[in-house]
Structure 1
Amino acid sequence: MPEGPEVKITSDFLNNHFQNEVITEISPITKYFKTKYSSVTEELKKKLIGEKINSFTIGKKTYIPLANKQYYQYHLGMTGYWSKILTKHSHYKLSSKSKELYFCDIRKFGKHLISLDSNLNWDIALYDFLKKDYDIDLHYHYLIKSISKRRNICNVLLDQKLFPGIGNYLKSEILYKSEIHPDAKWGQITKDLIYRILKNSKYLSRRSYQNGGAELKDFRNPLKKSSFNLEVYAKKTDPNGYRVSSIISKDNRRTWFVPDIQKQKR
């Protein structure tokens, strides 16, 4: 599933493709999309045609402002992406007079809706590591008052209200960089370690974004070839030659870690 960096890259692609262009057509292609998102399509025809695209992201969600403080909100799901090419997995067409893009989704896990301004997670945006005004101290104080000491660290990192944009590959990389075992509980994480987690989350999220994202099974950068390298996720050894193990962690996802570095506390 695309994570925060990949979602923002996809949003940038949408903005760049339609830069200074006015939307002239919104067309569902498949019966699935025509049926499931008929009301969304009608609203977009009323409120996006004749307007310019100004897409932005909060965590893993993308928003396009509409009239009357409304937004076209979509989630890429597992396999969603925008393409210049019509494929058998294209469900939606977005056009200007000279350009077009197709929303493609192989597994159909993406979600599309019209949101009100009051329903947007503006507070959560404060903790998005890709935002220019991200404040690590503000994030720290939010976390210490929001998380139970008994909660598993993997569950914490994947909670989009706490760590917006963080997904499974970033989770593994952050824990490795922070030298924390995936079975650790929040109550075992000291203040210094929390700040280490936040610094590494910001660093890895931004490095991934700046270097083109993690081109895993379900994501290909539409703007350039990625140069971002993972150190432990789906690896057999880390860059120093230490053995990488994996477990199904408390979040019911597979987590990669280095036992020689990420010691489990008793």
Structure 2
Amino acid sequence: MPEGPELFLNSRYINEECGGLIFSGKVEKSEVSKNPEVPFESDRYLISAMSRGKELKLTLTPLKQEGPAPAPSKRRVSAAQGKQAAREPMDLIFRFGMSGNFKFVPVSEMPKHAHLRFYTRGSPPRALCFVDFRRFGRWEVSSSWQVDRGPCVMLEYEKFRENVLRNLSDKAFNKPICEALLNQKFFNGVGNYLRAEILYRLKIPPFEKARTILEDLKPQEQASGPTSRKKVKLKRETPDLLELCHLVPMEVVNLGGKGYDPVRTSDYSIFLEWAQCYFVPGMQTLRDANGRTIWFQGNPGPMAPKGGKPRKRQLQVKPNPDTPSSKVTKLETSSSVTSIPRKDVVGTRKSGRKKGNRIAPQTEDHTMAKEAKLPNTRTRRKVSALQQSPAPDSVAESQKRRASTRKTRDTAAVSTRPRQVKAQ
């Protein structure tokens, strides 16, 4: 999921690519998107962007017409009133969801999942697109940031630090520190990969109580005060948790790529080399109460979910299509052990039935399973005797065996009759 650094990098990308360019026409929305229409249309306007935590604000600024504007006729009064809003700047607030990002491309190379489009006036025409292939991203026509989000950990560090330490009595800090770091009311801009990297560098168990960890910073803050805070920073060898919430995102910004990129473009290798914990082979993982995976190393902490066993995550290497996969090798091995032709396999399913004058062959496991299903021991013995006896060589021998079996049965029945009479 794009986090604070990715939103900041997108805003910088928009300002660099679109700064000074003139856009024109209506703002187009894709048919499949469930986000609201953008009621903006202008012959000439500019686009600028800024970010705050996990939000990005896009500002559309109409340009004034050169020379005196012609007086509108009576027929065009209603149309002029409809475009009244386009004479003033309009702000759009974006939240990127799982895969949102902006791209500035020629119209002929429009991405498939471009759900909001702003067109340039020049030739060849180009478009600034909000691309979101998972469609979890959201936008709304608004000039204000979301109310329940705190100060940005990157661009408003002093306000962010003060907001956290002043509200440690909030119930949000009763939770484990790994869950509290995702609360945008206090840690606006921190997401899944940032929390893993921050906790790993300080060797803090992810399921330690958040208030227990942050309360240690409060006396230090009160003793130093805002004026001498910079001197205290120089004296400390390692930054504390709140400082890393600011420094680690800035490291991602200074990498030079796109940061964390779910689409995995060529710049993503820079991010993988930078990460020390997130998605690194050999690290342990657990799911928090919100179902999010936390990456860590060592003891998870006293508030770890019951029954959840930390497991090491291995790096999954995509198989080479030219070489056989492990699944194919396994199938080949099993087939070489059994090596039963198709016809024989069908014969084993119909074990016990006579095929001509011969009993169909059957495997040892199938015979044991068949005997376990038989209801009485007499039939079971008879079947096992037939399996152990050699196959009859001719029809005459099989008839002799049946006749002897009938004689034995009749003799046993006659011998039991006197006993039954005496008993009565």
Query: Under TM normalisation by the shorter chain, which class is it?
Result: 0.7 to 0.9
User: Is the 8 Å Cα contact of residues 55 and 63 (structure 1) preserved in structure 2?
Assistant: yes
Distance, in Å, in 2 between the alignment partners of 1:100 and 1:148 is 42
**1:121-153: CA deviation from partner (whole Å, max 9, x where unpaired):** 47846x312216644642443442444442221
Which residue does 2:16 correspond to in 1?
16
TM-score (ref. length: structure 1): 0.80
- CA apart distance, 1:178: 2.2
Distance, in Å, in 2 between the alignment partners of 1:236 and 1:225 is 17
User: Is the 8 Å Cα contact of residues 182 and 249 (structure 1) preserved in structure 2?
Assistant: no
The number of equivalent residue pairs is: 247
- CA apart distance, 1:154: 1.9
Partner AA of 1:55 in structure 2: A
Give the secondary structure class of the aligned counterpart of 1:250. coil
Distance, in Å, in 2 between the alignment partners of 1:100 and 1:188 is 50
**1:233-264: CA deviation from partner (whole Å, max 9, x where unpaired):** 01124xxxxxx2111123321111010xx562
Which residue does 1:264 correspond to in 2?
301
1:181 corresponds, among 205, 211, 224, to 205
User: Is the 8 Å Cα contact of residues 18 and 48 (structure 2) preserved in structure 1?
Assistant: no
1:61 corresponds, among 55, 58, 61, to 55
User: Is the 8 Å Cα contact of residues 6 and 213 (structure 1) preserved in structure 2?
Assistant: yes
Map 1:1-266; keep pairs closer than 5 Å: 1-28=1-28, 30-33=30-33, 36-37=34-35, 39-42=36-39, 44-45=40-41, 50-65=44-59, 71-83=91-103, 84=105, 85-98=109-122, 99-117=126-144, 120-121=145-146, 124=149, 127-131=151-155, 134-135=158-159, 137-192=161-216, 196-211=240-255, 212-218=257-263, 220=265, 227-228=270-271, 229-237=274-282, 244-259=283-298, 264-265=301-302
**RMSD (CA atoms):** 2.9
Distance, in Å, in 2 between the alignment partners of 1:4 and 1:52 is 25
Cα 1:190–1:128 change in 2 (3 A) is closer
User: Is the 8 Å Cα contact of residues 213 and 226 (structure 1) preserved in structure 2?
Assistant: no
4+ aligned runs moved over 6 Å, structure 1: none
- CA apart distance, 1:215: 3.5
**1:167-207: CA deviation from partner (whole Å, max 9, x where unpaired):** 10001111111221111112321434687211111110110
**1:76-107: CA deviation from partner (whole Å, max 9, x where unpaired):** 21122222241222223212223422222111
Cα 1:257–1:213 change in 2 (3 A) is farther
Cα 1:197–1:69 change in 2 (3 A) is farther
Distance, in Å, in 2 between the alignment partners of 1:129 and 1:68 is 31
Cα 1:170–1:187 change in 2 (3 A) is same
Cα 1:123–1:246 change in 2 (3 A) is closer
User: Is the 8 Å Cα contact of residues 23 and 118 (structure 2) preserved in structure 1?
Assistant: yes
- CA apart distance, 1:110: 1.0
Partner AA of 2:189 in structure 1: G
Give the secondary structure class of the aligned counterpart of 1:17. helix
Cα 1:144–1:203 change in 2 (3 A) is same
Distance, in Å, in 1 between the alignment partners of 2:41 and 2:13 is 22
Cα 1:68–1:158 change in 2 (3 A) is farther
Gaps of 5+ in 2: 61-86, 219-238, 304-424
User: Is the 8 Å Cα contact of residues 119 and 128 (structure 2) preserved in structure 1?
Assistant: yes
Question: Once structures 1 and 2 are overlaid, which stretch shifts more, 184-193 or 157-166?
Answer: 184-193
> Whose relative contact order is higher, 1 or 2, with alpha carbons under 8 Å and at least 6 apart?
1
**1:46-71: CA deviation from partner (whole Å, max 9, x where unpaired):** 6xx63322211111111123576852
User: Is the 8 Å Cα contact of residues 93 and 102 (structure 1) preserved in structure 2?
Assistant: yes
Partner AA of 1:16 in structure 2: E
Partner AA of 1:62 in structure 2: L
User: Is the 8 Å Cα contact of residues 154 and 250 (structure 1) preserved in structure 2?
Assistant: no
Partner AA of 1:250 in structure 2: A
User: Is the 8 Å Cα contact of residues 174 and 200 (structure 1) preserved in structure 2?
Assistant: yes
- CA apart distance, 1:14: 1.4
User: Is the 8 Å Cα contact of residues 215 and 226 (structure 1) preserved in structure 2?
Assistant: no
Distance, in Å, in 2 between the alignment partners of 1:70 and 1:97 is 19
User: Is the 8 Å Cα contact of residues 6 and 219 (structure 1) preserved in structure 2?
Assistant: no
User: Is the 8 Å Cα contact of residues 168 and 215 (structure 2) preserved in structure 1?
Assistant: no
Cα 1:142–1:193 change in 2 (3 A) is closer
**Percent same amino acid at aligned positions?**
23
Partner AA of 2:20 in structure 1: N
Cα 1:188–1:145 change in 2 (3 A) is closer
Question: Once structures 1 and 2 are overlaid, which stretch shifts more, 179-188 or 212-221?
Answer: 212-221
User: Is the 8 Å Cα contact of residues 22 and 51 (structure 1) preserved in structure 2?
Assistant: yes
Which residue does 1:240 correspond to in 2?
none
Question: Once structures 1 and 2 are overlaid, which stretch shifts more, 207-216 or 166-175?
Answer: 207-216
Partner AA of 1:163 in structure 2: F
